[in-house]
Amino acid sequence: MIQVRGLTKSYGKQKVLGHIDLQLQKGEVTAILGPSGSGKTTLLRCLNFLEKPNAGEIAIGDVTVNCKGAGKRDIHKLRQKTAMVFQNYHLFKHKTALENVMEGLVVVQKLLKADARARSQLMLDKVGLADKQDAYPSQLSGGQQQRVGIARALALNPEVVLFDEPTSALDPERVGEVLEVIRSIAREGITMIIVTHEMAFARDVSNHVVFMDDGAIVEEGPPQELFGSPKEERTRQFLKRMTQEWSYTI
Amino acid sequence: MGRRFDITFVYDFIPKLLGFLQITLFIVACSMLLGMVIGTAVALPRLFRIPVLQRVSRIYVSFFRGTPILIQLFLIYFGLPELLKGIHLDVTRVPALAFVILTYGLNSGAFISEAIRAAVSAVDRGQVEAAYAVGMSGFHAFRRIVLPQAAAVSLPAFSNLVIGNLKDTSLSFTLGVMEMTGKSQTLGLATQHFIEVYLSLSLIYLAISLALERLFALAERRMRLHEPDVGVLRNQ
């Protein structure tokens, strides 16, 4: 249901993604892991054309876009199938939590204001922020802002929600509340792609794990396989280092 | 110069000068409107990095920021008709007021374009990406996300420009335009009470400047409701 074929992206001469092929099923939660600079965020951002791929094909639901000649209309169609949760939340700062969630519904999906409001309140309730609907982003903690970001993405009812390192900018204390929200929506069978550094979370919440390095997919598979018995040496190295990181003894 | 200072003339002059306030305000309003249109047009090539045009914009801004407004008035009032003669356009019947508005419009356009540029850059790129990710077009993202925040950011700068423009319009009497300062010249000559005239005149300018300042401060507070930390420095 999400199919990526031969996706390549380079900045000038520097190749960031080389010929990526990826296929994901509906209702599946995919975690993309990999060291910094491996191209995982770029891959995610190519899926909704925040980065323009140089070549390849992206198919989400019934929309198929050839990246090379993609025009405004194609990009718009693709973006209507996706929603994104950003590392730094990127809430609209001049709008309240509720207005942030409503914005896309009113402007893009052309819902009636009352309907958009009702749906947005439902979404804020889902992320546990019903009582904060009139707060501006500057009045919310990082964790709360990110939950509004998640509500904003979910409200659009997209085919897939793209999470770009959703907890990397948070205080360690706040990571838990955001992961909990993502976990609960994963249970609802919403298709998600999560770029993350939270290994335990990825293992726990995903049905499919993709390990990337140096602009290419090194290995992919179900979490128990990839974490339990990785086939590639590079994957083993990475996982070893990442798990070591959490086991310092002082 | 003139006769002995007599404060009672001030009471007499103020209402007489106020009769010409509308012309002053008319110049301010028209030239600021014109300036906003020009300012936007001049800012866009630099915001979007359009090759040749952004250089033209830069030269334009440098010229109008780097030369005295009095010289600009003379250049446009005396120079432009000569230039237009070249293409057989006769503008000798166009009133001086039009040249004044044009000059102040061109001048404030240069400053406004810089204010717009700074304000738009102040809105972080991430919010635009979020707008795109939600499915908004470039136009909607600009209109609904960037513009309201940029407008709030630029308000203090804009307030300064309007007040500066108000005071600058006093120079238009040099082209014979009968606004408040122009009227003060004739009043002064007729009564020989120059100090009283200038005192009255400055009181009026001051009052309007203060009123504008308050108005913009109020507007700013309304537009920046979402930033509770505005004014933090003031409260400390």
Using CA atoms, how far apart are residues A122 and A144, in angstroms rounded to an integer? 16
B148 and B220 Cβ atoms separated by less than 8 Å: no
Residue of A nearest to B150 (CA): A94
Q: Residue B101 is inside which H or E element, if any?
A: helix B96-122
Averaged over B128-135, what is the pLDDT? 96
User: What ipTM does the predicted assembly reach?
Assistant: 0.92
Three-class SS state of A152: helix
Residue of B nearest to A91 (CA): B127
Q: Judge whether B143 is closer than 8 Å to chain A, CB to CB.
A: no
At residue A98, the pLDDT reads: 97
At residue A245, the pLDDT reads: 58
Can you read off the two tokens belonging to residue A231?
């086939």
Counted residue by residue, chain B has a size of 236
Using alpha carbons, list the distances in angstroms from residue B112 to A136, A215, B43, B119. 29, 45, 8, 10
A212 and A43 Cβ atoms separated by less than 8 Å: yes
Burial status of residue B16 (CB atoms within 10 A of its CB: 0-12, 13-18, 19 or more)? middle
Using CA atoms, how far apart are residues B20 and B183, in angstroms rounded to an integer? 7
Model confidence band, residue B235 (pLDDT cutoffs 50, 70, 90): very low
* Each residue's pLDDT tens digit, B192-234: 888 999 999 999 999 999 999 999 999 988 888 777 655 444 4
Q: Residue B183 is inside which H or E element, if any?
A: helix B180-191
Model confidence band, residue B3 (pLDDT cutoffs 50, 70, 90): confident
- The CATH number given to A2-244 is 3.40.50.300
Q: Residue B21 is inside which H or E element, if any?
A: helix B21-47
What phi, psi does B135 have (nearest 5°)?
Answer: 110, 10
Three-class SS state of A140: coil
Half-sphere exposure of B188 (CA within 13 A, CB side): 16
DSSP letters, B58-98, are HHHHHHHHHS-HHHHHHIIIIIHHHHHHTTT---TTS-HHH
Q: Residue A205 is inside which H or E element, if any?
A: helix A199-205
* Each residue's pLDDT tens digit, B90-99: 888 889 999 9
At residue B88, the pLDDT reads: 82
Domains of chain B: 8-225 (1.10.3720.10)
At residue B226, the pLDDT reads: 78
Numbered residues of chain A with Cβ closer than 8 Å to any chain B Cβ: 48-50, 72, 76, 79-80, 82-84, 86, 88, 90-96, 103-104, 107-109, 136-139, 152, 156, 162
Please state the pTM of the whole predicted model: 0.82
User: Which of A94, A105, A156, A160 should one mutate to test binding to chain B, selecting the residue with the greatest count of B CBs within 10 A?
Assistant: A94
Model confidence band, residue B1 (pLDDT cutoffs 50, 70, 90): low
Residue B97 or residue B2, greater confidence: B97
Using CA atoms, how far apart are residues A112 and A114, in angstroms rounded to an integer? 6
Using CA atoms, how far apart are residues A28 and B41, in angstroms rounded to an integer? 48
* Each residue's pLDDT tens digit, A69-119: 889 999 999 999 999 999 999 999 999 999 999 999 999 999 999 999 999
Residue of A nearest to B223 (CA): A94
CA distance B117 to chain A (A): 19
Range among A43-52, B11-20, B173-182 with highest mean pLDDT value: A43-52
* Each residue's pLDDT tens digit, B56-87: 999 999 999 999 999 999 999 999 998 888 88
Q: Judge whether B125 is closer than 8 Å to chain A, CB to CB.
A: no
What percent of chain B is modeled with pLDDT above 70?
95
At residue B234, the pLDDT reads: 46
Low-confidence ranges of chain A (pLDDT < 50): none
